[in-house]
Amino acid sequence: MSILTVKNLQLKIGAESILESISFRLDQGRILAMTGESGSGKSMTALSIIQLQPKNAKLEGEIFFNDQEITKKNEFELCKIRGAKIGMIFQEPMTALNPVKTVGDQIRETIILHTTKNKRSAEKETLKILERVGLSPATEFKKRYPHELSGGQRQRVVIGIAIALKPAIIIADEPTTALDVTTQAQILALLKKLVTEDNIAMVLITHDLAVVADMADEIAVMQNGVIVEIDETPNLFQNMKHPYTRSLFAASKHLVDLPVTKVESDALLTIKNVTCRYRLARTKIFSKSDYFTAVSNVSFDIKNGERVGLVGESGCGKSTLTRAILGLEPIYEGEINVDNQNILKATSSTRKNIQVVFQDPYGSFNPRHKVSTLIKEPFFLIKDPLEVKNIEDKIEKVLEDVGLSATDKNKYIHEFSGGQRQRIAIARALIIKPKLVIFDEAVSALDVTVRAQILDLIAKLAAEYGLSYLFISHDLSVIRSITDRCLVMKDGKIIEEGTTKKVLEQPQNAYTKTLIEAAPKLPTFQTEL
Amino acid sequence: MLRYIFKRAISLIISLCLASIIIFAVVEIAPGDPASFMLGINAQEDTIAALRAELGLDQDKLSRYFTWVTGMIQGDFGTSYTYRSPVAEMITERIWVSLPLALYALLISTLIAFPAGIYAATQRGKSGDLVVMGATQFGIAIPNFWFAMILVVIFALKLRWFSAGGFVEWENGIFQSIKSLTLPAIALALPQASILSRVMRSALIETLSEDYIRTARAKGFGKRAVIWRHALRNALIPVLTIIGLQFSFLMAGAIIIEQVFFLPGLGRLVFQAITQRDLIVVESVVMLLVFAVITVNFIVDVTYAIADPRLRRRV
Amino acid sequence: MRSGSLIFGVLLSALVVIAAGVSFLWVPFDITQLSIPNKLQPPNEIHWLGTDHFGRDILSMIMIGARTSLAVALLAVGIGVFIGVPLGLIAATRKNSVIDEVIMRTNDLIFAFPSLVIAILITALFGPGAMNAIIAIGIFNIPVFARVSRGAALSLWQKEFILAARVSGKSDLRISAEHIFPNIANLLIVQGTIQFSLGILAEAGLSYVGLGTQPPIPSWGRMLADAQTMVSFAPHLAIIPGTAIIITVLGLNLLGDGLRDFLDPRVRKSRE
């Protein structure tokens, strides 16, 4: 008998349909993954199961938990189910925890809420749970506040809260999306262990197909609020029926067609023994400030025509290095030269050779400016009046080059989707025809199908414009598809470098090996598409 | 934590020093010589000079400043030009009116604002919320001295429940003293309660939309439990700052209300001293009020650090 | 309720502004003429709002008083904006530097001073009158605008589009003007209406104790002071100016609330 059965769930906000005909069953000890791109309705389904959908949303359909229909239950009974019988794990561990209570408190209060245990036995129980999720020594961790823990540790706390009362079902909404690849691997392993030990039924929501392939027994693919395909994992991968599933899978495995380019012998960008550090806030009034070294003795070159990747997890120093290359960050030791000019002393004639595309399609643009104003901003670096002629034509051409239309230049940025905004960001970077572009996690915030299109675009334009680029990403599959050579960064240092193929297939450094192993892989068994 | 308090304390002392300089400078720059003001238009040159010497006004500004400051640290606030009596005594007398009045008004304000703000936040968008928001809009728009006048007309002149003004000394009966402070406290409390309700409401609404509230619901806490156990404590943090600010405002803002109700408080004292060009009294009372504000801010900052553990490590 | 705030706010504020504006061209009666036989009339057909203890027409006095209140409050806001906003923006470009510390500490210091007491001090010592009232009130607007601008600017400096502007070689000053200021303008408008309404209340308070606008120019605050002794037999003398103040402040606050929602880009998006 299935522990959870959902029949024809329908969710509407006003006239808009958010979810339609959602049906599935889940048995104990099994993991069902709900996957799809943003806006597909995965999170709404999760919230609806525990009846925490938005107040103005109308829910229809039936949800059976343990043979009891729960959509019509009153709040009091639902409160008894939530937390005790159905546990929930959310995406952002930092904001999911109350910042002013210790983590021990937050686990303990769940126990006290649902059982008749007194404070002391709840305390003992809390320590056991902390150990179980890998936060050891538990007596130390229970006193910590959320801001004192790392992202992975916080997520373990959230998991601890979810499993505290040995629920029958756990719903995990993008539990590892905000975490580093290595941490993600650990958290997923923890979840798998708990599911087996406690015979829990888990609904795992994630946009990452590779994670799904690793973890799930059954997969439901969602698009626009509807489940388009649902099947056991091996069956699904061998035999995809729905065209959307196929395109999703194709995009995840997408290998960009990198045209062969000619690499000059002279270096465009030289980074020599660069160290960047900044002062930490003083913790004692009269002591000297400590320094944090973000970039430590880094050296590498990028030649004209090269496509180089930089791999690193958060905190490795890649953002500081990016800003240093752009001349926006003070350099403590060493030198960065572009076209043989020191970047810190460079004039606009040198600076105009480097441009950048950022990660966040929503924060990269001034919301009050029209697209044409946004795109032509780099022209501020062009002092030659001849080049500045016909700016409007140049704007239109570059918009068409990136796959948009010339009339888009009069629109405002909020009229565009994430993928379209990144195209505009690329247009802004290319309009003054720089020699080097830095792509700083430029596709990390995009859905997988859009990501594939943008990567194709970048490869094509790089060849057309004769660009060199430095592509920074934490995602190994992206690096694999779009770079010829790559460097691996950790704790401010470059710990490995070589051709992309060699680094990813025959890593020498232990950390690189960990990174590669930790990254979830899509299965190789599939029919030819 | 101790480092945090230490740094705040240093800040407090520096602010007090700067404040004293500013106050002294502003009062001294003002046109008009206190001595000639006190003696009138027809006074003789040498009479004025003699008075100036007696009041110590002939010394240069720097030494007068230092005398004043060192005196204050020791508790000597100087001698009033007009009354020739120690300012410290005058202040002590008046504080027994102003401080209770401020606390009374703060109490009324809080007692109204907390339930109103919490109710409005829980009824957000519904009629209960609209009523509270409408009422507070009016409350903020009403000048407190005008409201005081209305209160006097209705409750003192027509209904005769209270007297129209004056203060009954504490020695003559606590109940009577409190009664004489009631109408003024209500007049003061009205706009403050309105502001505080809105702050409480928006702080609570903001807190309720945080992710950890959603986690609490997912844990099984009901809507009411979530408010009391999780939201309120976090929402109180910004509310506390406002209460601190309000206390400072009430001490000083009562200056007009004390005129309306003939209350012998600090406000009335400083007002009379200004009109009489009694510079020493003005400087000392303003310094005291600034001291009160800065100290209250300090206390609020420390309370912040106790309430919000994220602040404790940063210096 | 959202659009209700805006509509009511605009209506009430406009009412007061129009009354003030009209008063430059025409008032029902000449208030420099005292007319003792006509004194203390309650509202009637000739004098719509009645007359005061000197026989002057109250409606005319209210209209001219509107001028005073609005002018003083507006100029005081002007002082706050023109000095406070640049200070705040400069402080934000150099966060945690010496200049930032100096600006913020000075801000906090001014906040520590009891504004009403200082306003009374300044106007009493330097001479009562509208000009000094404007300065006295304006001084306390400066730290408000400085703090608001700095706070908003700081969060904008973190955004990537600012980084993009720096990559395009633009200086901090240019970025503050081209990118930062237009994005905080909405916030400043809303804060401006709040400070404006506070200025109206402050001017009324100063005039009430005799330190604001001086006779013979009418001001609402002084009308209330004059009314105090006669309020038991001529209540309209107190009620009418008080109501005028309430309507103005209420209108401005509603306008501020309504503007805040109207200009909020998130609300705007759902309307499109």
pLDDT of residue B313: 61
Cα-trace Rg, chain A: 26
Residue B227 has what DSSP assignment? I
A304 and A241 housed in the same domain: no
Same domain? A234 vs A294: no
Chain C interface disruption, residue of B136, B146, B153, most C CBs within 10 A:
B146
Q: Residue A528: its pLDDT value, please?
A: 46
Q: How far is CA B123 from the centre of its chain?
A: 32
Last residue of a domain, one of A201, A229, A252: A252
Whether A191 has a pLDDT exceeding 90, the answer reads yes
Other beta carbons within 10 angstroms of residue A239's beta carbon come to 11
Banded model confidence at residue B260, pLDDT cuts 50, 70, 90: confident
Residue count (chain C): 272
Residue C43: which pLDDT band, with cuts at 50, 70 and 90?
confident
Is A111 inside a domain boundary?
Answer: no
Nearest by CB to residue A363, choosing from C161, C167, C179, is: C161
pLDDT value, residue A63: 92
Out of A252, A282, A312, a domain closes at: A252
Among C121, C196, C206, C254, the residue to mutate for chain B (most B Cβ within 10 A): C121
Q: Which of the listed residues A202, A223, A252 is the one where a domain comes to its end?
A: A252
Judging contacts by C-beta atoms under 8 Å, the chain B residues touching residue C235 are 153
**Rounded CA separation B66/A459 (Å):** 74
Q: Strand pairing partners for A276?
A: A295
Residue C271: is its pLDDT beyond 50? Answer: no
| Residue of chain A minimizing CA distance to B214 | A96
Any domain includes A445? yes
Q: What are the tens digits of pLDDT across the range B113-138?
A: 999 999 999 888 888 898 999 999 99
Would you state the pLDDT for residue A179?
Answer: 86
DSSP bridge pairs for A342: A337
Q: Which residues of A373-412 are buried (b: 16+ CB within 10 A; e: fewer)?
A: ebbbbbbbbbeeeeeeeeeeebbbebbebbbbeeebbeee
C201/B19 Cβ within 8 A: no
Domain assignment present for residue A388? The answer is no
pLDDT exceeds cutoff 90 at A487: yes
Does B237 have pLDDT greater than 50? yes
> Which residue of B3, B212, B315 is the best one to mutate when testing the A interface, meaning the one whose CB has the most A CBs within 10 A?
B212
pLDDT confidence bin for C23, thresholds 50/70/90:
confident
Q: Which of B165, B32, B26, B184 is nearest to B101 (CA)?
A: B184
Statement to judge: residues A340 and A439 lie in one domain: yes
What's the pLDDT score for residue C267?
54
Supply the pLDDT for residue A227.
93
The verdict on residue A299 lying in a domain is yes
Q: Taking the CB of residue C216, how many other CB atoms lie within 10 A of it?
A: 8
Q: Assess whether A327 and A297 both reside in one domain.
A: yes
Any long-range contacts for B16-23 (C-beta under 8 Å, 24+ apart)? Answer: B16/B290, B16/B291, B16/B294, B18/C109, B19/B287, B19/B290, B19/B291, B19/B294, B19/C109, B19/C112, B19/C113, B20/B65, B20/B68, B20/B69, B20/B72, B20/B287, B21/B65, B22/C109, B22/C113, B23/B283, B23/B286, B23/B287, B23/B290
B238 to chain A: which residues are within 8 Å by CB?
none
Token look-up 């309306």 returns B260
Q: What is the mean pLDDT of chain A?
A: 89
Q: What does the block give as tokens for B148? A: 């005081």
Please judge whether A414 and C265 are an interchain contact, meaning their C-beta atoms are less than 8 angstroms apart: yes
| A348, A438: one domain | yes
CB-based contact (8 Å) between A76 and chain B? yes
Tens digit of each residue's pLDDT (9 = 90 or more) over A297-312: 999 999 988 999 999 8
pLDDT at residue C229, as a whole number: 84
Boundaries of domain holding A28: 1-78+210-252
Q: How large is the average pLDDT for residues A279-306? A: 81
Residues 104-143 of chain B whose Cβ lies under 8 A from any Cβ of chain C: 130, 133, 137-138, 140-143
Q: Is the confidence at residue B34, as pLDDT, over 60?
A: yes
Q: Is A34 part of a structural domain of the chain?
A: yes
Q: What is the pLDDT of residues C101-140, one digit of tens each?
A: 889 888 888 888 888 888 888 888 888 888 999 999 999 9
Torsional sign, CA C196, C201, C202, C203: positive
Residue B96 has pLDDT above 90, yes or no: no
**What residues in C contact B249, CB-CB < 8 Å?**
114
In this prediction, residue A529 carries a pLDDT of: 44
- Give the whole-number percent of chain B exceeding pLDDT 90: 19
pLDDT at position A527 over 60: no
A467 and A504 within one domain: yes
Each residue's pLDDT tens digit, A60-92: 999 999 888 998 888 888 999 998 999 999 888
- What would the two tokens of residue C19 be? 């009354």
- Kindly state whether residues A232 and A276 are assigned to the same domain: no
pLDDT digit string (tens) for C219-228? 999 999 988 8
Tally of CB atoms within 10 A around B277? 21
Question: Can you read off the two tokens belonging to residue C164?
Answer: 């993009």
Same domain, yes or no: A234 and A278? no
**Are B5 and B302 spatial neighbours (Cβ–Cβ below 8 Å)?**
yes
Mean pLDDT value across chain B? 85
Number of domains in chain A: 2
Chains contacting C (3 or more CB pairs within 8 Å): A, B
Structure confidence at residue C200 (pLDDT): 94
Cβ <8 Å between B30 and C125: yes
CA B295, B300, B304, B307 dihedral sign is positive
Is A260 within a domain? no
Three-class secondary structure of residue A485 per DSSP: strand
**Residue B41 pLDDT > 50:** yes
Tell me the average pLDDT across A13-38: 91
Mean pLDDT over B131-151 rounds to: 91
The pLDDT of A372-401, averaged and rounded, is: 88
The number of beta carbons lying within 10 Å of the beta carbon of residue A28 is 16
Residue C13 predicted with pLDDT over 60: yes
- Polymer length in residues for chain B: 315
pLDDT at position C38 is 76
Query: H or E element: which one contains A246?
Result: helix A243-252
On average, the pLDDT of chain C sits at: 87
Interface residue A111 vs chain B (CB under 8 A)? no
In a domain, A443, yes or no: yes
In this complex, the residue of C164, C166, C179 whose CB is nearest that of residue A364 is C164
Q: Which residues contact A334 (CB under 8 A, 6 or more apart)?
A: A271, A272, A273, A274, A275, A297, A298, A299
Q: What percent of chain A has pLDDT over 70?
A: 97
Question: How distant, in Å, are the alpha carbons of A205, B29, C85, C210 from that of B32?
Answer: 77, 9, 34, 19
Name every residue whose Cβ is closer than 8 Å to that of residue C96 and which is 6 or more positions away in sequence.
none
> CB-based burial of residue A265 (10 Å sphere; 0-12 exposed, 13-18 middle, 19+ buried)?
exposed
Residues of A in contact with C159 (CB under 8 A): 363-364
Domain boundaries, chain C: 2-19+47-267
Give the closest residue to B248 by CA, choosing from B1, B7, B19.
B19
Residue at A287 is within a domain: yes
CATH class given for the domain over C2-19+47-267: mainly alpha
User: DSSP readout, A32-96?
Assistant: EEEE--TTSSHHHHHHHHTT---TTEEEEEEEEETTEE-TT--HHHHHHHBTTTEEEE-S-HHHH
Domain of residue A37, CATH code: 3.40.50.300
Does A218 lie in the same domain as A292? Answer: no
* Residue C178 Cα, gap to closest chain A Cα (Å): 10
What residues contact residue A108 under an 8 Å CB cut-off, 6+ apart? A119, A122, A123, A125, A126
Q: Give the three-class secondary structure for A340.
A: coil
- Model confidence at C148: pLDDT above 50: yes
Please report which confidence band the pLDDT of residue B315 belongs to, taking 50, 70 and 90 as the band edges. Answer: very low
The reply to whether A273 and A225 lie within a common domain is no
The predicted pLDDT at position A455 comes to: 93
